[in-house]
């Protein structure tokens, strides 16, 4: 029996990213531009252009993982698995296609300034923050500074014991709630505006489990052309309401409908923001 097209595409999606992240026999990351070799029939993509100093216009496409299914790893929901496919945990991030999968493309963007990671809703280092730092390290990107917020009280000794020395020197940990008001001192976007200079590489992750605060920050990005241009890459967990996911995510009936969440992320991509759904 032939596999459905969506199953074939999901397998090709995950296999492509897995191949790009493999090391060769010498332990060196494969010299593969994961973005340029991505199948346009499977991956979503940006169409971009810019004018060179000599006045010549350069155009290219830049793939990104599609906003399909439940916007997470296609094998993360047991209800959606085809026969013979092994599921993964709901927070598996192997489906993401960050710019770190293509050092060649990062160089082409001209990110020759400082490198910043803004982690709004960081929890402990060993959760999402460690994954983000590791993903960019594979592309040769070491963050000059990391700004991380966590509203829940954290034991400082336990927190810093979990942070590797190579990260600790760059990490600024704020164990206080985030503020959503534009220009507020604990609004992460205030920090983006303060630190950014042309050529800097800024990664922004937003996952604070407070839809009102998150929506206010997203609105500030959507309404500001300059802010969207300062953020090279963004990761965002938008809570949504979908019966098939209720048992795995626990979102209440007040969350946005699934279709609204997909549309919102698609609209931000249409504005040129390289945004990923954070699981």
pLDDT in tens, 142-199: 999 999 999 999 999 999 999 999 999 999 999 999 999 999 999 999 999 999 999 9
Q: For the chain, what is the domain count?
A: 1
Retrieve residue 218's tokens.
Answer: 């997203």
| Nearest in space to 20 (alpha carbons), one of 8, 31, 36, 11 | 31
In the chain, which stretches have pLDDT less than 70? 1, 23-32, 79-80, 103, 107-108, 247-253
Q: Is the Cβ–Cβ distance between 214 and 208 less than 8 Å?
A: yes
**Domain ranges, residue 55:** 5-277
Distances 16 to 36, 97, 186 between C-alpha atoms, Å: 12, 10, 39
pLDDT at 150: 95
């Amino acid at each position: 029996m032939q596999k459905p097209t969506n199953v074939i595409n999901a397998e090709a999606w995950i296999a492509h990213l897995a191949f790009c992240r493999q090391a060769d026999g010498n332990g060196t990351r494969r010299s593969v531009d994961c973005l340029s070799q991505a199948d346009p029939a499977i991956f979503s993509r940006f169409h971009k252009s810019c004018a060179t100093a000599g006045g010549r216009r350069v155009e290219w496409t830049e793939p990104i993982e599609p906003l399909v299914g439940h916007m997470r790893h296609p094998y993360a929901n047991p209800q959606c698995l085809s026969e013979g496919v092994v599921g993964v945990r709901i927070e598996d991030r192997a489906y993401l296609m960050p710019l770190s999968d293509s050092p060649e493309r990062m160089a082409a963007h001209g990110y020759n300034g400082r490198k910043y990671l803004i982690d709004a809703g960081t929890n402990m280092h060993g959760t999402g923050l460690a994954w983000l730092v590791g993903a960019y390290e594979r592309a040769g990107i070491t963050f000059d500074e990391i700004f991380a917020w966590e509203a829940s009280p954290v034991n400082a000794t336990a927190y810093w014991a979990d942070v590797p020395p190579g990260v600790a020197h760059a990490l600024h940990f704020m164990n206080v709630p985030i503020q959503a008001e534009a220009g507020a001192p604990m609004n992460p976007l205030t920090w983006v505006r303060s630190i950014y200079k042309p050529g800097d590489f800024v990664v922004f992750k937003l996952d604070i489990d407070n839809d009102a605060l998150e929506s206010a920050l997203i609105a500030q990005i959507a309404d500001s052309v300059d802010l969207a241009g300062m953020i090279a890459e963004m990761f965002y967990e938008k809570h949504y309401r979908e019966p098939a996911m209720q048992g795995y995510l626990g979102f209440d009936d007040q969350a946005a409908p699934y279709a609204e969440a997909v549309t919102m992320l698609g609209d931000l991509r249409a504005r040129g923001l390289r945004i990923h759904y954070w699981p």
